[in-house]
């Protein structure tokens, strides 16, 4: 009888041990990890708007995000993706350096069977997005920002006859372009000027310079050089593909004691200040906050094997692009206060 009781006691103790161990082993689920990059931390918009929102929103969503700087080098990004795959991250959120090199990144993700969300720079290779069923894109309609910027400039040009300095009815402009080949840079450059042509206003390009880093320094250096060039006195309008380069142009204009109509894209906080001070005539909201949120929302759902827009307000386009596109908005001296942080 004692042996039976002892045996029963051992069984109870063993069961208690197993139960206790089970509680320890089945504690909190392992945190979901997102492997992400920014094509270059030197980019005002990417590093100043999207990166902070990624970090903030990841905390809100209870996930871990690792963000690395690709330093404007596609080869470096390729290696970073290899590292993320080796570390077994749950999902990739990738900001391409070269939009024409998407297929290599997609192939890596596909081989590792890791979901992939591209953001900000859309793949330009035909068939790249269709090559993997677990790849999506979050960004904008590149042409839209140029169209909106152009419409603002046309309206202001018509309302300010004094801007036509030589009274020839032609807009003499200089243009600070972003990264050559970048869908946003190409579309903004084309559409902003096309708006004048569509409105029946003649244009003359005095100069155009591109910068892979979309940098303030580039804007400053080029604007300063243009102002002292043979055509410097003929410049009537400064068009900038982004706010960062616009800031540099403003610095150069201030140093030269000049003021010209000037427009950017992004609606960074500093741009709103320049608009308030009358140093900038308009910009276009590139909604980096919602682009970051949409990217993470899709990435988290994809990592969980759910439909990527489930439980969100985002909608995939119906054109087969597998994309969420966040709209642009015009920012002018009349409405800039609506975009300032409260």
SS in 3 state form for the chain?
Answer: CHHHHHHHHHHHHHHHHHHHHHHHHCCCCCCCEEEEEECCCCCHHHHHHHHHHHHHHHHHHCCEEEEEECCCCHHHHHHHHHHHHHCCCCEEEECCCCHHHHHHHHHHHHHHCCCEEEECCCCCCCCCHHHCCCEEEEECCHHHHHHHHHHHHHHHHHHCHHHCCCCCCEEEEEEEECCCCCHHHHHHHHHHHHHHHHCCCEEEEEEEEECCCCCHHHHHHHHHHHHCCCCHHHCCEEEECCHHHHHHHHHHHHHCCCCCCEECCECCHHHHHHHHCCCCCEEEECCHHHHHHHHHHHHHHHHCCCCCCCCCCCCCCCCCCCEEECCCEEECCCCHHHHCCC
pLDDT in tens, 256-282: 999 999 999 999 999 999 999 999 999
Closest CA to 236 of 178, 155, 153, 177: 153
CB of 90 within 8 A of CB of 304? no
Q: Which fold has domain 143-285?
A: Rossmann fold (3.40.50)
How many C-beta neighbours within 10 Å does residue 338 have?
A: 10
Write down the residue that tokens 């993320």 correspond to.
84
CB of 213 within 8 A of CB of 42? yes
pLDDT at 307: 97
Average pLDDT of the residues in 77-97: 98
**Radius of gyration (C-alpha) of the chain in whole angstroms:** 26
pLDDT at 29: 63
**pLDDT tier, 342 (very low <50, low <70, confident <90, very high otherwise):** low
**pLDDT tier, 341 (very low <50, low <70, confident <90, very high otherwise):** confident
Q: Is the domain 33-140+287-326 a CATH 3.40.50.2300 member? A: yes
How many C-beta neighbours within 10 Å does residue 25 have?
A: 7
pLDDT at 273: 97
Question: What are 60's two structure tokens?
Answer: 């809100």
Average pLDDT of the residues in 233-259: 98
- For 14, how many CA atoms within 13 A lie in the half-sphere containing its CB? 6
pLDDT at 320: 86
Closest CA to 73 of 126, 112, 122, 37: 37
CB of 245 within 8 A of CB of 219? yes
- Topology agreement, domain 33-140+287-326 and domain 143-285: yes
Domain boundaries, the chain: 33-140+287-326, 143-285
Closest CA to 177 of 209, 146, 207, 224: 209
| pTM beyond 0.85, yes or no | no
Question: Is the pLDDT confidence value at 80 over 70?
Answer: yes
pLDDT in tens, 106-126: 999 999 999 999 999 999 999
Parallel, antiparallel, or unpaired for β 116-119 and 91-94? Answer: parallel
pLDDT in tens, 190-202: 999 999 999 999 9
Question: What are 169's two structure tokens?
Answer: 């009815």
Q: What residues have CB less than 8 Å from 57, skipping those under 6 apart?
A: 292, 293, 296
């Amino acid at each position: 009888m004692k042996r039976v009781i002892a045996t029963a006691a051992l069984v109870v103790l063993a069961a208690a041990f197993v139960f206790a161990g089970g509680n320890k082993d089945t504690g909190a689920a392992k945190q979901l990890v997102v492997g992400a990059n920014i094509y270059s931390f030197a980019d005002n918009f990417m590093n100043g708007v999207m990166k902070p929102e990624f970090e903030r929103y990841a905390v809100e969503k209870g996930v871990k995000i690792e963000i690395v700087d690709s330093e404007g080098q596609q080869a470096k990004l390729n290696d970073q993706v290899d590292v993320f795959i080796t570390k077994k991250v749950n999902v990739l959120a990738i900001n391409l350096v070269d939009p024409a090199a998407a297929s290599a990144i997609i192939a890596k993700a596909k081989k590792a069977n890791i979901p992939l969300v591209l953001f900000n720079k859309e793949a330009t290779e035909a068939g790249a997005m269709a090559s993997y069923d677990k790849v999506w894109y979050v960004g904008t309609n590149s042409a839209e920002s140029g169209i909106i910027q152009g419409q603002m400039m046309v309206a202001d040009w018509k309302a300010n006859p004094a801007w036509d300095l030589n009274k020839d009815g032609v807009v003499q402009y200089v243009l600070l372009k972003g990264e050559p080949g970048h869908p946003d840079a190409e579309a903004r450059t084309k559409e902003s000027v096309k708006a004048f042509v569509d409105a029946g206003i003649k244009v003359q390009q005095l100069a155009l310079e591109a910068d892979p880093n979309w940098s303030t320094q580039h804007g400053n250096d080029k604007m300063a050089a243009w102002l002292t060039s043979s055509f410097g006195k003929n410049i009537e309008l400064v068009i900038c593909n982004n706010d960062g380069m616009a800031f540099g142009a403003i610095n150069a204009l201030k140093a030269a004691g000049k003021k010209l109509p000037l427009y950017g894209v992004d609606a960074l906080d500093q741009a709103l200040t320049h608009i308030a001070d009358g140093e900038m005539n308009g910009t276009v909201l590139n909604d980096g906050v919602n682009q970051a949120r949409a990217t993470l929302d899709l990435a988290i759902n994809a990592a969980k094997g759910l439909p990527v827009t489930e439980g969100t307000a985002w909608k995939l386009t119906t054109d087969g692009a597998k994309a969420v596109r966040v709209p642009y908005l015009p920012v002018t001296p009349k409405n800039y206060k609506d975009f300032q942080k409260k």
